[in-house]
Amino acid sequence: MKFLTVLAIALLTTTHSACAQTAETPEDTIEERLERARGIYAHSDAPYIGSKIRRAAWLDDRRIAFEASGYEQDAETLSFDVTDKSQSKAGKDTLPPPLERWPAGVGMAGGPGPERLTSPNDRWKVTDDGPNLLLTDLQSGDVRALTEDGRPDYAYGQGHIIGWSGQLPIKIAGITPAPSILWSPDSERFLTFAADTRGVRRVPYIETTKNRGGWPDIRLHETVTPWSGDEALPSAQFQIFTAATGKQVRVDLPQKFERAGDPLRRGLAAWSEDGEYVVLTLTDVRDRVLTSWRIDAATGKASKIYDETGYFMSLGRPWYMYPRLIGDELLIWSNRDEYAHMYRYNARDGEFLNPVTSGAIYVWEFVGVREDWVYFLAGVLDGERDPYQKQLFRSKLDGSKQEQLTDNDADHGALASPNLDYILLTERTLTSPLSHYLIDYEGNIVHRFPKPGYLEGFVAPERVSGTGRDNRTPVWGTIFKPADFDPSRSYPVLHYVHGTAGWVTGPLGIDQWFGMQGQALAELGFVVMVADGIGGGGRTRSFAYVSHDDGHQCGQVHDNLLLMRAAAESRPYMDIDRVGMVGTSQGGNCASRAIFEFPDSVHVAVSMSGNQDSRMINAAELHEYIGLPGDDPEAYRTQSNAELAHRLKGKLMLIHGTLDDDVPLVNSLHLIDALIEENKDYDLVLVPNAFHTMSRNPYAVARMWGYFLEHLREEKLPAFDN
């Protein structure tokens, strides 16, 4: 806990008001700044005091359990009873285990849940025998094979091989994921699919084992990963099985599901309450047509409920609200007009019923349904407030009435009790840590939990806004400063970028991922900006649509630099003659792109796991924006950063893991070839046997920190135990 102690001393010895400091205040040593940065990076609670609620879950309609921790305090599990406001300690096993990102058996109505291989009545359990499925009768213990035609390239329930990243860590760990299935509520049938990868590109990888006393062992692996332009794409052939008889019904869809990722783990299916049909929502390979199908359980016949052609937000992005089947009504999210709203359809016959929500809002998240009200989180796009702050709303299912239950300068999260009598609300601001309170279904405050605070002297992040590259659209970002911040000093400016179309990056608190990264970098002695630009998510349809037909998807970098210049006009401590940019994955692409496109504005860049050419990663990455290569070959050519290698003037570091199966190493090698042809200097860090998550790799992060310190502050990162 040494880093926490050093952090506390450093924070407590700084003056509470940064504006009261003078140039005579000595700057902390690089060792002290490094210790703070490591503290934030490894333990984002480091600047907090008091208790902070972590993971929470409702145990029933009146009791909620949560983990609470404070500064230098291990988390403990507590239980709170809404009825008598009593709080008590609970066992660590009171809370359910953390969920997978896309757990098997996720349904649209139920939301994320644990692996659901056992039927709801506890009679049957599905397992696998390699690529085939087995069914166990838990009453008799009998086991029988449900399929016999499975093979490695036609594997039942194995959605992890449908052209998505994360295949290598699973293979190397020797793990075979449980089959993806979805049981009907009556336990009579379940939905699954065969992952058809016949003829799909296999990408090779080399794993080397550590053996300092001799030659290392070399192992060859491969993943199923189609690249842009490939004719053969992975698909899912859906099947419905009847448990008692083993009867197998092929779902008769008029189109293939050719989209990377496991459709059941993504929550794209839900059974009706009577088990007569299942709703399945799919997209085509370009992600420009979305269709919800009603599948008859007995025959497998598919009937269209609704579809959207042309432009819509892609399934699977973090800001997409999945459809919910409520009774026989399908509640869907759509950006079909300028704002993102919920709409209601009759799932049995496909009849459109009504818009559920209305107004200048962006619906972010479904919270729950109580009687004829649907509760949800949405951003308010009235032009007068931060559009990324989520507020709690409720609307009548028939769209006749809508109410806003929170209306303050904060970002909100919500966790509803099973019957939605109560909601645990989380408030996030930049000036204070997370706070939590309970409200009833009418929005009345029932109980406030103790609010944590920042350690005295902590310099809170600052929200800023400006105008984007079209000279009219507002853009927003967050500025982070070090604990020993002195406005009379001059600080290099770093940008932490991501730039993926539809994503929201700019954090509204340091507890968020990009907030933690930004604050950690700031503690090293930088002013850090994390911003969103035109083409991102959370705003209007026209705001996001800019990313479609944009091959390299890094236009947001231009917005970031414009926002930086606007902010620096009133903040002379921002030295825009010393600017760095860093990002991972698509952010790595944008960091490289920035130093090529804006060589006079970006002086140092670090690209971590960067997709320097999106033709060499999963096919879906570009198809959904610019179509197939045959549609616009020039767009595919110009999105490659290798085309701009001749423009490099500053310092560029490329960091890549050799077993990255999301953005293969060939991406960086392709750019390096171009840099060599142009006789350009670059720095390369390869991390053997590392996967895609370079931003979580301590060695890679340390090299990134050291690079910015060396080239923007002329300091050397002290050695430390990794």
440 and 513 in a single domain? The answer is: no
Residue 17 is predicted with a pLDDT of 37
414's tokens: 């919500």
427 and 511 in a single domain? The answer is: no
Residue 320 is predicted with a pLDDT of 64
Residue 48 is predicted with a pLDDT of 77
Identify whether 336 is part of a domain.
yes
Which is higher by pLDDT, 697 or 100?
697
Q: How confident is the model over 67-80, as pLDDT tens digits?
A: 887 665 677 899 99
Confidence of residue 13 (pLDDT cuts 50, 70, 90): very low
484 and 407 in a single domain? The answer is: no
613 sits in which H/E element: none
493 and 620 in a single domain? The answer is: yes
CA–CA dist 61, 59 (Å, integer):
7
Identify whether 54 is part of a domain.
yes
Identify whether 538 is part of a domain.
yes
565 sits in which H/E element: helix 555-568
Residue 63 belongs to domain spanning: 50-91+321-454
Evaluate if residue 106 carries a pLDDT over 50.
no
393 and 494 in a single domain? The answer is: no
428 and 568 in a single domain? The answer is: no
CA–CA dist 616, 657 (Å, integer):
15
* CATH number, domain containing residue 385: 2.140.10.30
Confidence of residue 8 (pLDDT cuts 50, 70, 90): very low
Q: What percent of the chain has pLDDT over 70?
A: 88
Identify whether 132 is part of a domain.
no
Report the candidate in 370, 266, 393, 262 with the shortest Cα–Cα distance to residue 321: 266
Domain final position from 454, 487, 515: 454
* CATH number, domain containing residue 655: 3.40.50.1820
Residue 490 is predicted with a pLDDT of 97
Instruction: Give Cα separations from 132 to 223, 250, 402, 702 (angstroms).
Output: 20, 16, 49, 45
The model's pTM: 0.91
Please count the structural domains in the chain.
2
CB atoms within 10 A of CB 631: 11
Residue corresponding to tokens 């806003």: 404
144's tokens: 């029988």
Greatest distance between any 2 Cα atoms in the chain: 83
506 and 594 in a single domain? The answer is: yes
Are the CB atoms for 397 and 374 separated by under 8 Å? yes
Identify whether 676 is part of a domain.
yes
670 sits in which H/E element: helix 666-677
Are the CB atoms for 604 and 707 separated by under 8 Å? yes
Residue 285 is predicted with a pLDDT of 64
Mean pLDDT for 539-568 is: 86
CB atoms within 10 A of CB 186: 15
Q: How confident is the model over 615-673, as pLDDT tens digits?
A: 888 776 677 777 777 777 888 888 899 999 999 999 999 999 999 998 999 999 999 99
CB < 8 Å & 24+ apart, contacts of 543-546: 543/473, 544/313, 544/335, 544/501, 544/502, 545/311
488 and 425 in a single domain? The answer is: no
Are the CB atoms for 109 and 209 separated by under 8 Å? no
Are the CB atoms for 135 and 183 separated by under 8 Å? no
406 and 485 in a single domain? The answer is: no
Q: How confident is the model over 178-236, as pLDDT tens digits?
A: 899 999 999 999 999 999 999 999 999 999 877 767 777 889 999 988 887 788 888 88
Evaluate if residue 489 carries a pLDDT over 70.
yes
597 and 661 in a single domain? The answer is: yes
425 and 517 in a single domain? The answer is: no
CA–CA dist 14, 40 (Å, integer):
17
Identify whether 151 is part of a domain.
no
Report the candidate in 363, 324, 315, 317 with the shortest Cα–Cα distance to residue 345: 324
Identify whether 599 is part of a domain.
yes
634 and 494 in a single domain? The answer is: yes
Which is higher by pLDDT, 284 or 294?
294
**Mean predicted lDDT score pLDDT of the chain:** 87
CA–CA dist 671, 678 (Å, integer):
11
Q: Which residues pair with 653 in a beta bridge?
A: 606, 683
Report the candidate in 535, 626, 624 with the shortest Cα–Cα distance to residue 287: 624
Residue 1 is predicted with a pLDDT of 46
Identify whether 650 is part of a domain.
yes
